[in-house]
Amino acid sequence: MATYSNTFEQSAGNKKWGTILTGIGILTLLAGIGLLGFSGDEHSKTRFWAGLLQNSVYFLLVVNAAMFFLCATTLGFAGFTISFRRVAEAISTLVPVFGVLALVVLLAIVFTDQTHIYHWMDTVTRENDKIILGKSGFLSKPFFVIWTIVAVGGWTIFGAKMRKISREADDTAMDTETAKKWLFKNSVHASLFIVCFGLTVASTIPWFWLMSIDAHWYSTMYSWYVFASTFVAGMALIALYIIYLKNQGHLPFTTKEHLHDIGKFMFAFSIFWTYLWFSQFMLIWYANIPEETEYFRIRMHGEYRGLFWLNLILNFVTPFLLLMKANAKRNYTIVTFAAVVIIFGHWLDFYLMVAPSTMKAHGSIGWFEIGVAIGYVGLIILLVGRGLSKSPLVPMHHPLLKESIIHHT
Amino acid sequence: MSIKKFVVGLYDDEAPLFDAVKQIRKEGFKIHDVYTPYPVHGMDKALGLRETSLHTAGFIYGMTGTTIALSFMSWVFTTNWPLNIGGKPHFPLPSLIPITFEFTVMCAAVGMVLTFCYLCKFAPFVRKHHFHERATDDKFVVVIECTSDSTEADATATLAKLGAAEINTQIAESEWWFGTYDKEEKKYTEQDLVKAAH
C-alpha cells in the first residue's frame, strides 16, 4: 500500500521552473519598460500599459476565484471540498502578491500615464464630454483609487482570515459542540468575504478596471461576464493542482469523484460564460445602436476578427465537447488539457477586453503580452508551491472531512 | 415475459443489503432486481449494472432539436417567407440562437423522459408484480431469479445465511411490456419448475 504524506515539499524542479518562468517574466518586463514604456511611440506606450493591465488583472482575479469557491462552498456546507480545500487555500495565498502587483500597475496608470488606457481620466476630455461628465460621479480618480485599494485589501484580509480559521482544524479534534461553533464561525467569515466579493468583483471592480476603458460604452452583463471568465479559469487552476498533487502521491482522500465535480464546475461555468457572452452580444447586435455596437465593431471586423472567434472556440466549443462525457471529467489527461485551454482561453478573453479598446487597430499578441503572462505562470508555480508547503494538505480534524472521503457522484 | 420462479429476501436496512447483494452475486445467483424505498447510492455498481446510455440518447435528441430548429428557421426566413425585420439580414443567426437553444433543451428533456419511461416500462397498461409491498415504504427487497443452475433451496439457504429478515418464494410473471426486458433467452420452463420442486 502506498503511503501518503500530508505535507507538501516544493521539489527542486518545481522551484527551478517557477524561477525560470518568473525570470522570463521579469526580463520581459524590463525589456518592456525600456522598449515600450519609455519609447517615444504612443502605440508602444499604450501596448505596455495594456499588456500589464490585462495580465495583472486577469491573474489576480483568477487566484481570487479560488477563495470565492471556498467561501461559496463553505456557505453551502459542501463537504466534498474538504479533502482538497488546502489546494484552493494555497492558490488564494497569491491574492496579496498579485493584488499588490495589480495595484502598482493600476496606480501607475492613474498617476503617470492616464490617457493611454482610461481616456476618461483626462481633464480636458472630462470637461468637454457630456457622457463622461454624466458619469463623473462614479468615474472619478479618487473613487477609482480608493475603491481599488479597498477591494484588494478586502480580498486579502477576509481571505487571510478564512485561511487562519481553516488551520484550526489541523491539530486538535473537535467535539460536536465545538465543531458546530467552528463551522458557524467559518460561515460568518465566508459570508463577509462573499459580500466583499459581490460588491467588488461581481459589480464595481470590472466596471472600473476594464469597462471604463470604453467610458462611453456600458453593458449590464459585464461584471458577471468577467466573474464567469475568472471563476472558470480559477476552477481550471484548482483542477491542475489537484492532478499535480495526485501525481506526486499526495491528497489520498481526493479521488476521481472530486475531480469529476471540479470538472462539472469547469464544464458548467464554461457554458455560463458563453451564456453571458452571448446575452451581451445578442442584445447589442439586435438593438444596433451605434454607441453600443462600437464595442463589437472593432472586435468583430478588423484585426481582432480571428481572435474574437478563437475566443469562443477555446472557451465554449472546446470545454463543451471535451468535458461533456462523465468519463472525460474523471480522466487526468483530458481534464488537464481542458484546464490549460480554459486558462489560456480566458487570458485571451481578457486580451480582447483590453487591447482593442486601447490599441485600436495596432494591437497584436506579441513577446510582451506572452512574456508577462509567462512571468505570472512562474509566480503561480513558485508561490502556490510555497503556499502548499506551509500547511498540512488535508485538515485532518475538519468536521466534514468524512463527508469528503465518502463522497461519490 | 414468461412466468419465472423467484426467491424474495427482505432486509430492514441498506447496509446489510450491500453485503448481501455482493455475496449473492459472488455465489453465482442471478439477481432479478433490488427494490428499495429510495435510490440507494452505489447500488447500481454493487449490482454490476452497466452505465446507462440515457445521456447519449439525450445528446442525440439535443442535436436533433438543434438541427430541426436551425434548419426550419433558416428555411422560413430565407426561402419560404423572407421578411425585412428592422433591416436585419435575412439569415439573422444570433437572433435564432435563443430559440434553437430552447428547442434543443426541450427535445433533449422530453426525449429523455420518454426514453426513461420506456426503459423502466413506466406507462399505462403495464402490469408489474410487487414482490413485497413494503419495498415502497421502508423495507429493502432482493429478488433472486431461479434458473436451471440455482435452485430455490440454494437461494433460500443463502438468503437465510445473509441475514434476510423474511424469505419467501414466488412464481410470477414479473412484468409485461412490448419490448424485451431480459436479454437472456433462457426462460424458466415447466420442467425446471418440476425439477425445483423435487
The answer for residues whose C-beta is within 8 angstroms of residue B68's C-beta and 6 or more apart is: B103, B107
Q: Where are the domains of chain A?
A: 12-405
Rounded distance, CA A352 to CA A358, Å? 10
Q: Which residue, A186, A236, A173, A193, is CA-closest to A78?
A: A186
DSSP letter, residue B138: T
Share above pLDDT 70 across residues of chain A, in percent, rounded to a whole number: 99
In chain B, which residues have their Cβ closer than 8 Å to the Cβ of A277?
Answer: none
Query: Are the C-beta atoms of residues A144 and A110 closer than 8 Å to each other?
Result: yes
**A326–B94 C-beta distance less than 8 A:** no
- Which 3-state string (H, E, C) describes A208-241? HHCHHHHCCCCCCCHHHHHHHHHHHHHHHHHHHH
pLDDT at A1 over 50: no
pLDDT at A375 over 90: yes
- At the topology level, CATH places domain B3-51+124-197 in Alpha-Beta Plaits (3.30.70)
Rounded distance, CA A19 to CA A226, Å? 30
pTM score, whole prediction: 0.88
DSSP letter, residue B93: H
**B42–A286 C-beta distance less than 8 A:** no
Question: Identity (one letter) of the amino acid at A343?
Answer: I
> What are B's interface residues with A at a Cβ cutoff of 8 A?
41-42, 51, 55, 59, 86-88, 94-95, 97-98
Rounded distance, CA A335 to CA A243, Å? 9
Best A278, A296, A323 residue to mutate vs chain B (most B CBs within 10 Å): A278
**B97–A285 C-beta distance less than 8 A:** no
Across the 198 residues of chain B, what is the mean pLDDT of every consecutive 10-residue run? 82 89 88 90 86 90 96 94 86 91 96 90 76 88 86 88 88 64 50 52
Query: Are the C-beta atoms of residues B187 and B3 closer than 8 Å to each other?
Result: no
**A286–B95 C-beta distance less than 8 A:** yes
Rounded distance, CA A120 to CA A216, Å? 9
The nearest CA of chain B is from the CA of A405 a distance in Å of 15
Which of A281, A325, A408 has its CB closest to that of B94?
Answer: A281
Segment B56-59 long-range contacts (CB within 8 Å, at least 24 positions apart): B57/B111, B57/B112, B57/B115, B58/B108, B58/B111, B58/B112, B59/A324, B59/B108
Q: What is the mean pLDDT of residues A307-326?
A: 94
Per residue in A162-177, pLDDT tens?
A: 999 999 988 888 899 9
The nearest CA of chain B is from the CA of A243 a distance in Å of 25
Best A280, A281, A286 residue to mutate vs chain B (most B CBs within 10 Å): A286
In chain B, which residues have their Cβ closer than 8 Å to the Cβ of A324?
Answer: 59
Q: What is the mean pLDDT of residues A29-41?
A: 87
For residue B148, the model assigns a pLDDT of 78
The nearest CA of chain A is from the CA of B108 a distance in Å of 14
In chain B, which residues have their Cβ closer than 8 Å to the Cβ of A288?
Answer: 86-87
**B55–A326 C-beta distance less than 8 A:** yes
Q: What is the mean pLDDT of residues A44-50?
A: 90
Enumerate the CATH 3.30.70 domain ranges in chain B, comma separated: 3-51+124-197
In chain A, which residues have their Cβ closer than 8 Å to the Cβ of B14?
Answer: none
Rounded distance, CA A194 to CA A71, Å? 7
The nearest CA of chain A is from the CA of B98 a distance in Å of 9
Which of A282, A288, A325 has its CB closest to that of B97?
Answer: A282
DSSP letter, residue B181: -
Q: What is the mean pLDDT of residues A239-266?
A: 93
In chain A, which residues have their Cβ closer than 8 Å to the Cβ of B88?
Answer: 286
Q: What is the mean pLDDT of residues A382-391?
A: 93
For residue B4, the model assigns a pLDDT of 81
In chain A, which residues have their Cβ closer than 8 Å to the Cβ of B57?
Answer: none
Average pLDDT score over chain A: 92
**B86–A282 C-beta distance less than 8 A:** no
Which of B41, B88, B98 has its CB closest to that of A408?
Answer: B41
**B55–A286 C-beta distance less than 8 A:** no
> What is the signed CA dihedral for B100, B103, B105, B109, rounded to 10 degrees?
-160
The nearest CA of chain A is from the CA of B95 a distance in Å of 7
Q: What is the mean pLDDT of residues A308-318?
A: 95
The nearest CA of chain B is from the CA of A250 a distance in Å of 26
Sign of CA dihedral A150, A154, A160, A164: positive
**A324–B59 C-beta distance less than 8 A:** yes
Rounded distance, CA B101 to CA A74, Å? 33
Size of interface A-B (CB pairs under 8 A): 21
pLDDT at A38 over 60: yes
Q: Which residue, A245, A273, A243, A265, is CA-closest to A336?
A: A243
User: What is the interface pTM, i.e. ipTM, of the complex?
Assistant: 0.78
**B94–A286 C-beta distance less than 8 A:** yes
The nearest CA of chain A is from the CA of B54 a distance in Å of 12
Q: Could you tell me the three cell numbers for A96?
A: 496579496
For residue A129, the model assigns a pLDDT of 87
Question: Identity (one letter) of the amino acid at A320?
Answer: F
**A278–B97 C-beta distance less than 8 A:** yes
For residue B49, the model assigns a pLDDT of 85
In chain A, which residues have their Cβ closer than 8 Å to the Cβ of B55?
Answer: 325-326
For residue A199, the model assigns a pLDDT of 95
Q: Is B92 helix (H, G, I), strand (E, B) or coil?
A: coil
Q: Say which range, A100-104, A117-121, A122-126, B82-86, has the weakest mean pLDDT.
A: A122-126
A283 touches chain B (CB under 8 A): no
Closest-CA residue of B relative to A279 is B98
A317 touches chain B (CB under 8 A): no
pLDDT band at residue A350 under the 50/70/90 scheme:
very high
Q: Could you tell me the three cell numbers for B17?
A: 443489503
Q: Please, what's the b/e burial string for A111-138 (b: 16 or more CB within 10 A of its CB; e: otherwise)?
A: eebbbbbbbbbeeebbeebeebeebeee
DSSP letter, residue B30: E
Q: What are phi and psi of A140, to 5 degrees?
A: -125, 150
Q: Please, what's the b/e burial string for B106-143 (b: 16 or more CB within 10 A of its CB; e: otherwise)?
A: ebbeebbeebeeeeebeeeeeeeeebbeebeeebbbbb
In chain A, which residues have their Cβ closer than 8 Å to the Cβ of B94?
Answer: 278, 281-282, 285-286
Number of Cβ atoms within 10 Å of the Cβ of B171: 13
- Diameter of chain A measured on Cα atoms: 74
Q: Could you tell me the three cell numbers for A265?
A: 464546475
For residue B185, the model assigns a pLDDT of 46
Could you tell me what percentage of chain B is helix, strand and coil, using 3-state DSSP and rounding each to the nearest 5? 45, 15, 40
The nearest CA of chain B is from the CA of A227 a distance in Å of 22
Sign of CA dihedral A357, A362, A365, A366: negative
Rounded distance, CA A74 to CA A182, Å? 12
Cα angle: A200, vertex A201, A204; to 5 degrees:
50
In chain B, which residues have their Cβ closer than 8 Å to the Cβ of A325?
Answer: 55
pLDDT band at residue A238 under the 50/70/90 scheme:
very high
Per residue in A181-224, pLDDT tens?
A: 999 999 999 999 999 999 999 999 999 999 999 989 999 899 99
Best A282, A293, A317, A407 residue to mutate vs chain B (most B CBs within 10 Å): A282
Q: Which residue has the higher pLDDT, A30 or B185?
A: A30
The answer for residues whose C-beta is within 8 angstroms of residue A396's C-beta and 6 or more apart is: A6, A169, A170
The nearest CA of chain A is from the CA of B180 a distance in Å of 27
pLDDT band at residue A380 under the 50/70/90 scheme:
very high
